Amino acid sequence: MNRLKISENRRFFTHQDGKPFIWLADTDWTIAHRLKWDDAEYLMQKRKSQGFTVLQIVALDPEQDKEMRNPAGEKALLNDNLNTPNEKYFQYLDWIIDKAQEYGFYVLLLPVWGELVVGHNWMGEFSEKIVTKENAFQYGKWIGNRYKDRTNIIWCLGGDRQPIHLGVDYKDVWRKMAEGIAKGVLNKDIKNNVKDPDWQKLLITYHACHEAETGECSTMSYWTDEDAWISFIMIQSGHGLTPKNYDLVKNDYNRKNPMPVFDGEPAYEQMPTSWPIGNDFHGGWMVRKRAYWSLFAGAFGHTYGHPSVCWMISEKERDSFRRYSWFEALDQPGAWQMKILRDFLESRDLSQCIPFQELLIVQNDKMEDILDEHIQVCVEKNGEFACLYFPSGGEETVDLSSLKIDQLQIWWFNPRDGQCYTQENVITDKAISLEVEKHDVLKIITPTRGYEQDWVCVIENRNNHSTIPGKAKIYGEMPVPPEIKKTFMW
């Protein structure tokens, strides 16, 4: 695998030859802590078959095990000291990263989870701050040097915490770690605030949390352009019902100094919709909404998550919160609908698209903004085609004057099952589904409408494309497991 790089327009990732890279990530944060080797390989086989291209993994994460052991019982840190990493523990992380490369995955690697910096977990419990300004550089240098030759690694600092936590500023800790990674990978002394082109060779972002009080959830919520080590933006739209991640993406997409932006932690499938935990959990519809909204709003890629997978929950650990084992959760509907999304992205290159709400006439005239009726639009930069996401179906009048349309072709793509229909074959709840009202203005009506009835409309020139949107593809074979996989438990 070749290293990825950022496109010249600083909007998306490409391979070294300039071909756009489709970023579809899975949150496997604790895989090196919780899954023994054959289980880890099974997970990779499954995610490969579902079209995923990136695995998000943490090197040091205390959330499920304060001792931070791997399945062989090896602690990550000898004497709980960041300066004495345990070689036996990291040999297994090496294997995970190398196995991921074997299956064609890039790894978004977090050297440490944010709890180890701020000494505070989401249960309100305080602990020792293992990562400090004094040792962050050396650890960054050590782990950077360890993986300097791995071409499938992209770096991520932060770990679900803002750099200012409970009123304490931890920015210098993360800056020192970034400088350490640069020293370890490139063997160069680069200052965090110097616009050195070598920072772009590392590809580093920052994983913030979603602050309930402020709504801040972006890499750039507390960082500025002076932090030259940051090369792309990750937002955490979070697990609530109300975040409008299309607006969150828009805010960063429209920055004066552009950087690629993506929703790296949207609402997980089967995550509770509120806290304290009630009876409602996010399903596939929420997963699809956050994905299509953000991608059509200008995101370069997207991340899928499931709480039972990110923490690798075993059968015995299932409870009212994590109701599935990790093995069961791999086959949740939303995960397979990410495969459908990958099929769509393979058929229409969104890297060449720009967000373009100006296409809409009726929605733009509305004063109210009903979340589940928000239509998000992107248009190919030269006007070759447009994509509209209807989260609940419905109708809209669109202005086609900005498109290069000679002979109109409308497709209806179903993100729930991957089926695609041409306009003339669609049966709608109205006799006329397409009305020419005046020159370059069309009224379109989705095949169905209502709760969970989302649709993607593709408008383009007839015969412009050889394939219909979202034609199913095979990304990896899935062998039959010899036995039900289980999480290793201490």
Q: Which CATH number is 173's domain given? A: 3.20.20.80
Give the domain extent around 448.
356-461
Residues 304 and 208 in one domain: yes
Q: What is the pTM of this model?
A: 0.94
Average pLDDT over all residues of the chain: 92
Please tell me the total count of domains within the chain. 2
Higher-scoring residue by pLDDT: 404, 181: 181
Q: Quote the CA–CA distance of 171 and 166 in Å, as a whole number.
A: 13
Q: CATH number of the domain at 373, please.
A: 2.60.40
Q: Quote the CA–CA distance of 53 and 101 in Å, as a whole number.
A: 10
Q: Is the pLDDT of residue 365 over 80?
A: no
378 - beta bridge partners?
355, 387
Element at 90 (helix H, strand E): helix 87-102
Residues 127 and 148 in one domain: yes
Q: Is the pLDDT of residue 106 over 60?
A: yes
Residues 258 and 365 in one domain: no
* SS3 of residue 53 by DSSP: coil
366: Cβ contacts below 8 Å, ≥ 6 apart: none
pLDDT value at position 366?
Answer: 65
Calculate the dihedral angle through the C-alpha atoms of 289, 250, 304, 27, rounding to the nearest 10 degrees: -160
Residue with tokens 């990110």: 310
Residues 245 and 330 in one domain: yes
Q: Quote the CA–CA distance of 78 and 57 in Å, as a whole number.
A: 21
455 - beta bridge partners?
390
DSSP alpha helices (H): ranges in 318-433? Answer: 326-329, 333-347, 362-365
Q: Quote the CA–CA distance of 409 and 423 in Å, as a whole number.
A: 8
pLDDT tens across 289-347, in order? 999 999 999 999 999 999 999 999 999 999 989 999 999 999 999 999 999 999 999 99
Residues 360 and 347 in one domain: no
pLDDT value at position 427?
Answer: 47
Residues 310 and 361 in one domain: no
Angstrom CA distances, 150 to 97, 110, 196, stand at 8, 15, 22
Q: Quote the CA–CA distance of 326 and 345 in Å, as a whole number.
A: 27
Choose the final residue of a domain: 294, 329, 351.
351
Is residue 222 within 8 Å of residue 171, measured between CB atoms?
A: yes
Residues 242 and 384 in one domain: no
pLDDT value at position 436?
Answer: 42
Residues 365 and 274 in one domain: no
Choose the final residue of a domain: 351, 377, 400.
351
Residues 406 and 258 in one domain: no
Residues 127 and 210 in one domain: yes
Residues 234 and 337 in one domain: yes
480: Cβ contacts below 8 Å, ≥ 6 apart: none
pLDDT value at position 481?
Answer: 61
